[in-house]
Structure 1
Amino acid sequence: MSNYSGRRMQVLSILIVLSTLLLAAGSACAEDFPRIVEHRYGSTVVTAKPVRVVTISYIGHDFALALGIKPVGLRYWYGNNPKGVWPWAEKALGDEVPVVLSGQVDLERIAALHPDLIEGMWSGMTEAEYRFLSRIAPTLPPAAGGGDYDMPWQEMTRVLGYATGRETAAKEIIDRLEGTFAAVRAAHPDWHTKTAVMASIRGPETFTSRDVRSRFLTALGFRTPDAVDALAVGRSFYVRLSPEDLTPIDTEVLIWLNSEKGRPEFASQPLYPFLRAVRTGHEVHADVLLSAALSHSSPLSLDYALSSLVPELEKVLARTSPSASAGGQNP
């Protein structure tokens, strides 16, 4: 009887210890919330760790997936994947089949997903949309002081990590990628003296220094010409150029987006052959996949963009054009 009582007391003691630990863990988790996120429309309070997340940013699903969150709904931007993600995000999404939201913000469809967090830091949502979405679930609009589509990937990662209780994962992602960019800069000190832009194969149009694509080049050491930013209206992330005046993109490096078949459609313009990057052969023609990776500039797409673009930049910048040294034109 005494042995039985002794064993029973031991079991009870163990159960009490386990209960205490579980309660402590639960209290610690509870103490982590609520989280308050400041933004352009005020502040959002996330009362508990989100489980059902809807991303209405065009690139928000990449950020969620990088943090280990599989959205129950995501916003379609472009591409052919029926799940709404590009190849670099497929592994992180796995077998999940999120609801793909196309077009304008659909309040009814979002509400039907019963989210406990709506991410929209790269969505262009209006204040009216924010107010209504906030009735459905805590909502994260763009940061204060910025444009609709110019939040740096680091800030988007940090905010979403904080709002979902994944700060450690967010910091690890940011530190790793910033370390990769720093290593590339250190390996190419000559890039620090060069100007570079990304431009559309059509248009022509190019991106200001606040755009995610230009920030990618800045992180590699290049500079966006002041002439590009001077053309921007307000917080616009891109500017349209006149084919009769291409001087804003007369840079040492030109990267043409969605340019799988060579020259831009305005290459027949008289001024095109006189651009420095054209004369020296310092042009990179990015295919659809690389262009999309640069346009997303997410924690998942940046690795692909770096591994694809950096070797191309190394190749073209090692090129010395005979026609350039002779003062002639490329064919």
Structure 2
Amino acid sequence: MTSSDAALSRRSFLSGSACLLAAPTLSAAGSDLRFENTFGETVLPAPASRVVSLGYNTQDALLALGVLPVGIRYWYGDHPYGVWPWAQHLLGAAQPTMMTGEVSIETVASLAPGLIVASGSGISEAEYALLSRIAPVLMQDPAQSTYGSPWDVELRRIARATGTEARAETLISAVRNRFAAFRTAHPGWQGQSAVCAWHDGGQTGAFMGGDTRARFLAELGFTPPERLSEMQVIDGFYTSLSPEDLSPIDADLLVWISSEERAADIAGLAMRRTLRACAEGREVFCDELLAGAMSFGSVLSMPFALDRLEPEFAAALDGDPESIVPSARAAGLLR
């Protein structure tokens, strides 16, 4: 659908569906649930159970909380209903409507939600205003960037809007315990430098402190390389590097967030071979599934990533330049 088609369909929809867009009747102010957000305030008369998920990863939080979304926004990957393997068991037999590309106001309205979760969706203020005439729209906290809400902050926010706070605290404690157990099991890794990098379309970059992937490494006790920390952050979550100088990502542990299709491009990256991490076998390669788990950075995907990354990190950080990191060998990153 073109932008002009989308605008036309929205105008037609608004003129012909006033009943669907009528503002909900709110209960007494004292019992309302109120959330400050990027575009104003979201008000819910009561916790919602019928929910549309427009954030690119918010389906994970909802499923973890026991809320089956009636609609899910597709991000990427070839997975049923946009739900990745770490969450499929929670979807069960449900068949939510999957939305791709630009948010369709008509589709959202047809699902008759009591709540629209749009944290990390990237919708505009105009789209927020339209959607708010269908149902309350939960955006990220105004203190957070569009895609930068910490996983636990986001989970608690969604839990409060769906009346599942107790479940959220149980989930948060379980994941925190997993991170703590990892740090305890690997005291020698604490304080070592680590970075999640990417290479796509001839451009190389790294994910910065406000990003889910960088936060994941921080939760494990790693720190970013000093030179990387000094670089400018773009859109609150990443930075790009000069093709002639990749030294800002030369860390004790270099994690490539990528896919099988891009492995050859990374392997052939000339300046990568100037990095000590490359020469000493301290690179870990994340295929699309593992890169997806890191990128979702959710209460469900992070334990999935931990299980698979621990042996990879162990091979990369064992102090033996001759040891082989399985994922690096599979991706063709070895000399």
TM-score bracket, shorter-length normalisation: 0.7 to 0.9
- Equivalent residue runs for 1:264-283 within 5 Å: 265-283=265-283
Task: Confirm whether residue 231 of structure 1 aligns to residue 193 of structure 2.
Answer: no
2:72 alignment partner, SS class: strand
Paired residues for 1:163-174 under 5 Å: 163-174=161-172
The aligned counterpart of 1:105 is 103
Superimposed CA distance per residue, residues 56-84 of structure 1 (whole angstroms, 9 cap, x where no aligned partner): 00001111000000000010001112311
Residues in 1 aligned to 2:196 and 2:128: alpha-carbon distance in whole angstroms: 32
Structure 1 counterpart of 2:84: 86
Question: Counterpart of 1:295?
Answer: 295
What's the CA shift for 1:270? 4.4
Distance 1:318 1:259 in 2: 25
- Partner in structure 2 of residue 245 of structure 1: 245
The reply to whether residue 187 of structure 1 matches residue 185 of structure 2 is yes
Are the structure 2 counterparts of residues 262 and 41 from structure 1 closer, same or farther at C-alpha, using a change threshold of 3 Å?
A: closer
Larger Rg: 1
Any idea what SS the aligned residue of 2:242 has? coil
Q: How many residues align?
A: 296
TM-score (norm 1): 0.84
Per-residue displacement from partner, 1:149-206 (whole Å, max 9, x unpaired)? Answer: 1101101100001111111001111111011101111221222221111112433121
What is the RMSD of the two structures over their aligned residues, measured on CA atoms? 2.2
Q: Secondary structure at the match of 2:35?
A: strand
CA–CA distance in 2 between the matches of 1:120 and 1:87? 22
Paired amino acid for 2:295: S
CA distance in 2, matches of 1:118, 1:209: 28
Distance 1:229 1:104, change over 3 A: farther
Aligned match for 1:116, one of 114, 117, 138: 114
Deviation at 1:143, TM superposition (A): 1.4
Corresponding residue for residue 308 of structure 2: 308
Percent of pairs with identical residues: 42
The equivalent of 1:126 in structure 2 is 124
SS in 2 for 1:193: coil
| Cα displacement (A) at 1:307 | 0.4
- 1:145 Cα deviation (Å)? 2.5
> What residue number does 2:64 align with?
66
Moved over 6 A (4+): none
For residues 39 and 32 of structure 1, the distance between their equivalents in structure 2, rounded to whole angstroms, comes to 19
Equivalent residues of 1:197, 1:206 under 8 A apart: yes
1:281 and 1:319 in contact (8 A); partners too: no
What is aligned with 1:55? Answer: 53
Any idea what SS the aligned residue of 1:271 has? helix
| Paired residues of 1:262 and 1:285 also in contact (CA < 8 A) | no
1:13-57 Cα offsets, whole Å, 9 max, x none, are xxxxxxxxxxxxxxxxx9994211122222211112212100000
Hey, what does 1:6 align to over in structure 2?
Answer: none
Alpha-carbon distance in structure 2 between the residues aligned to 1:195 and 1:85: 32
CA contact (8 A) 2:197 2:207 kept: yes
Residue equivalent to 1:21: none
Structure 1 alignment gaps of length 5 or more: 1-29, 324-329
Counterparts in 2 of 1:74 and 1:268: CA distance versus 1, 3 Å: closer
